Amino acid sequence: MKVFISADIEGVAGVVSPAQGQPGNTEYERARRLMTEEVNAAIAGAFDGGATSVLVNDSHGPQTNLLPDVLDPRAELLLGRPKPAGMCAGLDAGFDAVFFTGYHSGAGQHGVLSHTINGFAFAGIRVNGIDCAEATLYGAYAGSIGVPVALLSGDDCLMAQCSPLFAGAQNVVVKHAIGQRAARALSPARACQAIKDGAALALRGLSACHPFVIASPMVLEIDFTSVALADLAALIPVAKRLSPRSVSLDAASMTDALGWINILSAASASLR
């Protein structure tokens, strides 16, 4: 049984500040260790639940956050960016289950460090009218190739937004949001135990999980945080201007939709 883990940092127990996700400070060094420990818990639970191989994709920011020398040696690790399929790089139809660890709620939602892909650029993302967190987008990508999300870990607001999408998945709440930058969290040890237990249960009950699919073709709508960013997006010949801060793009698949999102995210750096 092959398991794919996409690991983010904002949903990790003990992480509440933007500085904890930004390389170059001591708070980040602590947060990346906590992130690695939660991933290790998911790996251990996966093998307890019957996994035969685990591939981990580092999915936060520069995607060089996980500590390779600390990671469970039974797993393989994908690091660095850009890479095809972004937060689900390396996932293909040969996998049996997807785990999302350290995930968070989407742009404009309550939740710890809520955003979707790029907090500087995107105020909201919708696909066929569905308000999208990162778990929505990448869960739908996994579903488009027939792989279900079996485990989701993060805060309570992530679960409120995304758990209804993933039938049969184990939902592990490691913290409760008090605000966008404040939370009541489990201790790291308790959070890791909960993730380990949830991962094992996820695979033992995998038959109850079903892929989340958004029907094709798709209409991608993006609300930007500034008019200037929407001006930039509107330069794409196939983009349609919806409002001063919003554009839409047609997409034949989730692969195409994610391609547009990640291109526009990268391009937004020119207007920082």
Known catalytic residues?
A: 115
Cβ of 148: how many Cβ atoms within 10 Å? Answer: 22
The phi, psi pair for 44, rounded to 5°, reads -60, -45
Output the DSSP codes for 149-214.
EEEEEEEHHHHHHHGGGSTT-EEEEEEEEEETTEEEE--HHHHHHHHHHHHHHHHHTGGG-----P
DSSP H stretches of helix in the chain: 26-48, 134-144, 156-162, 188-204, 227-233, 254-267
In this structure, the dihedral spanned by the alpha carbons of residues 34, 31, 88 and 122, taken in order and rounded to 10 degrees, is 150
Chain-centre distance for alpha carbon 59:
7
Going by C-alpha positions, the residue among 113, 80, 124, 135 that lies closest to residue 10 is 113
Rounded Cα gap, residues 254 and 125, in angstroms: 13
